[in-house]
Chain A
Amino acid sequence: MEIMSVELDVFVGNTTIMDEEVYQFWLDGYTVSDAVKVRMEGGVLEECEASAEVLQSDTMDQYRTFQMCERLLHTPAKLANQLLFQIPPHRQAMLIERYYAFDSAFVREVLGKKLSKGTKKDLDDVSLKTGITLKSCRRQFDNFKRVFKVVEELKGPLVENIQTHFLLSDKLARDYAAIVFFANNRFETGKRKLQYLSFQDFAFCAGQLISNWTVGAVDNMVEDMDVDLDKEFLQDLKDLKILITDKDLLDQHKSLVCTALRGKTKVYSEMEANFKNLSRGLINIAAKLTNTKDVRDLFIDLVEKFIEPCRSDRWTAADMKLFLIHYTNSAHILDTFKHQVTWDRYMGVIKSCILKMYHD
Chain B
Amino acid sequence: MPGKLKAKIVAGRQLPVMDRASDLTDAFVEVKFGNTTFKTDVYPKSLNPQWNSEWFKFEVDDEDLQDEPLQITVLDHDTYSANDAIGKVYIDIDPLLSSEAATVISGWFPIYDTIHGIRGEINVLVKVDLFNDSNRFRQSSCGVKFFCTTSIPRCYRVVTVHGFVEELVVNEDPEYQWIDRIRTPRASNEARQRLISLMSGELQRKIGLKVLEMGGNAVVGYLQCFDLEGESGLVVRAIGTACTLDKLSSLPTAALPAFPQHDKNCILSVPTPTPPLPAGMGSGGSVGKEGGPLKTLLRQQTQTALEQREFPFFTLTCFPPGFLVHVGGVVSARSVKLLDRIHNPDEPETRDAWWEEIRQEIKSHAKALGCHAVVGYSESTSICEEVCILSASGTAAILNSRFMQEGCLDSYSEHRLSQQAVFFSAGSERGEFDMFLQSKDSSASLGLEEPSPPSCGFCHIPYDELNMPFPTHLTYCYNCRRQKVPDVLFTTIDLPVEAAITGKGCLIQARLCRLKKKAQGEANATAISNLLPFMEYELHTQLMNKLKLRGMNALFGLRIQISVGENMLVGLASATGVYLTALPSPGGIQIAGKTPSDIAYEQHISNMQKKINDTIAKNKELYEINPPEIIEEAVGSPIPEPRQRSRLFRSHSESSDEVWELDLSHGKKDAFVLEIDDTDAVEDIHSLLTDAPPPVGKSGTGPHISQLQMLTEDLMFTSVRVFRLSNVNMTNQGLNKIFNELCENLLKSLYFKLRSMAPCCLCHLNFVVAVPEEDLIQVSLMQPTLTPQLDPSQSSRSPTTISENEEQLQFPLELCTESPSSQPFSPSKGTGTEGWTVSTSVDYSSFADRCSTWIELIKLKAQTIRRGSIKTTSSQEKASPLPEGRSRSLRSTKSCSGSTVSVVKMTPLPFLPGTKIVKYLGIINMFFIRETTSLREEGGVSGFLHCFIAEVFSMVRAHVAALGGNAVVSYSMKECVFMENPNKNQAQCLINVSGDAVIFVRESELEAPTAPPHTSVAQNAGSGADGTT
Asked if A10 and B695 sit within 8 Å, CB to CB, the answer is: no
A15 close to chain B: CB less than 8 A: yes
- A89 pairs with B714, CB closer than 8 A: no
Q: At the interface, yes or no: A246 with Cβ under 8 Å from chain B?
A: no
* In contact, A94 and B897 (Cβ under 8 angstroms): no
User: Are B715 and A13 touching (Cβ within 8 A)?
Assistant: yes
A198 is an interface residue with CB less than 8 A from chain B: no
**B90 smallest CB distance to A (angstroms):** 16
Contacts A49-B695, A86-B903, A169-B883; A12 near B749 (Cβ below 8 A): no
Contact A171 B719, CB 8 Å, known A10-B942, A15-B713, A64-B939: no
Which listed segment binds B: A55-63, A107-115, A259-267?
A55-63
Q: Does the CB pair A58–B881 fall under 8 Å? A: no
B946 near A61 with CB under 8 A, answer yes
B855 at the interface (CB under 8 A from A): no
Q: A88 contacts the other chain (Cβ, under 8 Å)?
A: yes
Name which residue of chain A comes closest to B887, CB basis. A93
Q: Please, how many angstroms separate the alpha-carbon atoms of A61 and B118 in the complex? A: 20
Alpha-carbon distance A167/B726, docked complex (angstroms): 50
Contact of B882 among A53, A91, A97 (CB under 8 A): A97
- Please give, as numbers and ranges, the residues of chain A lying within 8 Å of B879 by CB-CB distance: 90-91, 94
Q: Interface 1/0s, chain B 969-982, versus A by CB < 8 A? A: 00000000010000
Q: Measured between alpha carbons, how far is A48 from B753 in the docked complex, in Å?
A: 10
Instruction: Tell me the bound Cα distance from A133 to B954 in angstroms.
Output: 34
Judge whether B835 is part of the interface by a CB distance below 8 angstroms. Answer: no
Name the residue on B nearest A76 (C-beta).
Answer: B893
Shortest Cβ distance from A303 into chain B, in angstroms?
32
In the complex, which residue of chain B has the Cβ closest to the Cβ of A61?
B946
- The interface bits of chain B over 493-513 (1 if a CB of A lies within 8 angstroms of the residue's CB, else 0) are 000000000000000000000
B443: which A residues are within 8 A, CB to CB? none
CB-CB under 8 A from A341, the residues of chain B are none
When distances are taken between beta carbons in the complex, the residues of chain B under 8 Å from A171 are 883
Q: Mark A2-23, 1 if CB is under 8 A from B, else 0.
A: 1111111111111111010000
Q: Which one of B727, B946, B957 has the greatest number of beta carbons of chain A within 10 Å?
A: B946
Closest to B880 in A: A90
Task: Give bound CA distance, A268 to B585, whole Å.
Answer: 96
> In this assembly, does B953 line the interface, its C-beta being within 8 Å of a C-beta of chain A?
yes
- Asked whether A93 and B890 contact (CB < 8 A) given A14-B716, A54-B752, A88-B713, the answer is yes
Q: How many angstroms between the C-alpha atoms of A259 and B49 in the bound complex?
A: 72
Q: Are B724 and A4 in contact (CB under 8 A)?
A: yes
Q: How far is the CB of A6 from chain B (nearest CB, A)?
A: 6
Q: Does A1 contact B (CB under 8 A)?
A: yes
Chain B nearest Cβ from A177, distance in angstroms: 14
Stretch at the interface among A77-85, A117-125, A200-208, A292-300: A77-85
Give Cα A280 to B892, complex, Å.
52
B424 interface residue per 8 A CB criterion:
no
CB pair B958–A83 under 8 Å, yes or no, is: yes
Give the complex CA separation of A253 and B949 in angstroms. 75
Measured in the bound complex, the distance between the Cα atoms of B111 and A83 in whole Å is 11
Residues of A within 8 A of B894 (CB): 80, 89
Given the complex of chains A and B, what is the CA–CA distance between A19 and B118 in angstroms? 26
The answer on a CB contact under 8 Å between A8 and B861 is no
Tell me if A235 counts as interface (CB < 8 A to partner B).
no
Q: Scoring A residues 217 to 258 as 1 if CB is less than 8 Å from chain B, else 0, what string do you get?
A: 000000000000000000000000000000000000000000
- Which chain B residue has the least Cβ–Cβ distance from A9? B721
B722 adjacent to chain A (CB < 8 Å): yes
Whether the Cβ atoms of B723 and A7 lie closer than 8 Å is yes
A170 with B885: CB separation less than 8 A? yes
Q: How far is the CA of A142 from the CA of B778 in the complex (A)?
A: 40
| CA of A128 to CA of B859, assembled, Å | 45
Cα A9 to Cα B776 with chains together (Å): 13
State which residues 34-85 of A face B: CB under 8 Å: 44, 46-51, 53-55, 57-58, 60-61, 64-65, 67-68, 78, 80-85
| Chain B window 727-760, contacts with chain A (Cβ cutoff 8 Å), 1 for yes, 0 for no | 1001000100010001001001101110110000
Are A58 and B110 closer than 8 Å at their CB atoms?
Answer: no
- How many angstroms between the C-alpha atoms of A333 and B745 in the bound complex? 82
Most B CB within 10 A of own CB, among A2, A44, A57, A171: A57
CB contacts (< 8 Å) of A68 on chain B: these are 946-947, 950
Q: Select from chain B the residue with minimum beta-carbon distance to A53.
A: B745
Q: Are B886 and A169 in contact (CB under 8 A)?
A: yes
| Interface check B350, CB cutoff 8 A | no
A170 and B950 contact, Cβ closer than 8 Å, known pairs A14-B714, A89-B894: no
B725 contacts chain A at the CB level, 8 A cutoff: yes
Residue B929 is within 8 A (CB to CB) of chain A in the complex: no
Q: Using Cβ atoms and an 8 Å threshold, which residues of chain A touch B778?
A: 8
Q: Complex: how many Å from CA A69 to CA B713? A: 19
Q: Is the CB of B860 within 8 A of A48?
A: yes
- Using a CB-CB cutoff of 8 Å, which residues 119-163 of chain B contact chain A? 121
Q: Is the CB of B958 within 8 A of A64?
A: no
Are B719's CB and A10's CB within 8 A? yes
CB of A15 within 8 A of CB of B715, answer yes
The 8 Å CB contact of B748, one of A54, A78, A93, is A54
| Chain A residues close to B by CB (< 8 Å) | 1-17, 19, 44, 46-51, 53-55, 57-58, 60-61, 64-65, 67-68, 78, 80-86, 88-91, 93-94, 97-98, 163, 167, 169-171
10 interchain pairs (CB within 8 A)?
Answer: A3-B738, A4-B724, A7-B724, A9-B721, A14-B716, A46-B698, A54-B749, A68-B947, A80-B893, A167-B893
Apart from the given pairs A61-B946, A67-B943, 14 other A-B contacts in the complex at a CB distance below 8 Å: A11-B717, A12-B949, A12-B950, A12-B953, A13-B718, A47-B864, A50-B752, A55-B752, A83-B108, A86-B953, A89-B890, A167-B890, A169-B882, A170-B886
